[in-house]
Amino acid sequence: MTPPPITDDLGRTVNYMRLSVTDRCNLRCSYCRVGGGPVLPHKDIMRYEEMVELAKLAQSLNIAKLRLTGGEPFARPGFPKLLEMLAQSCPGLDVRITTNGTLLKGMPRLLMELGITRINISLDSLNPDTFKDITGHDLFHTVRAAVDECLEHGLKVKLNVVALKGVNDSELPAFLDLAMAQPLDLRFIEFMPMGQSQRQDEQYWSSDQIVASAGKLVDLTPIDRKSADSGPAQLFSLTGPQGPGKGRLGVISPLSHHFCSTCNRLRITSSGRLRTCLFSDREYRLLPLLRSPQHGPETVLRVIRLATQKKPLGYQLLRDKIGPRVCAKAMSAIGG
Ligand code: SAM
């Protein structure tokens, strides 16, 4: 018998899990891994077998979608092996990946073979020098080629851009040109002060400002969220002087227009800690339970269910929060 979907006390159905494969990353984005950040010892990181076990448990709770993220997932040795294990052990699970694209060369074919057809690639600048300034690495052309390789193999690509005023706002026309020419979703994400990255009001470029500026360059038509598989993004189709664009523009506004009432996600850190809300530092340690002979899968399932029931409304936490940060850990340590 299929178990009932997991819901929280507010009636939200949770059917989406983000699983961080590693807290390590091969880039040093200025807003994310400030100062490099400590990384966890290997013994504290879930083994691939444990990740698959968690994915199977999640699937038994009607989690339909699993996003693998990090850190940088492709930076963990053997990551393609995890993808194969998931394809074998969790048929029907909609697996997606968020990556910085630096290690993607040659991978898109395998992804398609494994039924992984959707990928989010982070690319904060179309200018090689700015890319290097932001990430600490001269890898713009590698990522740009990876985007093309994914599109050539038929993957659906979402391009994530952290919106940073004074850093990449002048590139809005170039980003729109790209979305006009290529069938991809360009998504600007509002910068969130997390971990050691400080709130920098002068860098805050809100989604309303982005949409207003974009609307002066191309015609924007809002797309209904439900029909668009857009997650938290508000999407727009684009029409320029030459006609309709191949891609779309999206904005994700965790700070200015929260989407907590429709939040359907859980996060698992690479050390196997469950977070039910990005903005809550409360974590439930699943890995010791999974590894314990006394507890095991039944206890893990019970903890996931109970924790999900109490899933908070992030915007309420932010309202009550004192201090400049939205949460204590950087995105790389949680799983972005
Ligand atoms: N390494 C992969 C990547 O670059 O996409 C996955 C992990 S990364 C932490 C996931 C996403 O979180 C990236 O798009 C990144 O730009 C975003 N991110 C990290 N810190 C952020 C912050 N403080 N505010 C908004 N987005 C952030």
**Domain CATH code at residue 30:** 3.20.20.70
Global pTM? 0.95
Per-residue pLDDT reduced to its tens digit, 108-148: 999 999 999 999 999 999 999 999 999 999 999 999 999 99
- Residue with CA closest to ligand 1 atom 2: 99
d(CA 128, CA 160): 16
Query: Is 23 near ligand 1, meaning CB less than 6 Å away?
Result: no
Residue 37 lies in a domain: yes
From ligand 1's centre to the CA of 287, what distance in Å?
Answer: 24
| Minimum CA distance residue for ligand 1 atom 4 | 100
C-alpha 34/C-alpha 99 separation (Å) is 18
**What phi and psi, each to the nearest 5 degrees, are found at residue 171?**
-95, 5
Tell me, in angstroms, the distance from the centre of ligand 1 to residue 160's CA: 8
- Asked if residue 257 is part of any domain, the answer here is yes
In short, whether 32's Cβ falls inside 6 Å of ligand 1 is yes
Residue 301 domain-assigned (yes or no): yes
Which structure tokens are listed for 119?
A: 């990928």
- Is 228 inside any structural domain? yes
Separation of CA 232 and ligand 1 centre (Å): 15
Q: Determine which residue's CA is closest to atom 11 belonging to ligand 1.
A: 336
Q: Print the domain residue range for 28.
A: 6-334
On whether residue 60 sits in a domain, the answer given is: yes
**Residue by residue, what is the 3-state secondary structure of 218-263?**
CEEEEECCCCCCCCCCEEEEEEECCEEEEEEEEEECCCCCCCHHHC
User: Does any domain span residue 321?
Assistant: yes
Q: Which residue has the higher pLDDT, 34 or 285?
A: 285
Task: Assess if residue 1 is contained within a domain.
Answer: no
Number of domains in the chain: 1
pLDDT in tens, 149-196: 999 999 999 999 999 999 999 999 999 999 999 999 999 999 988 887
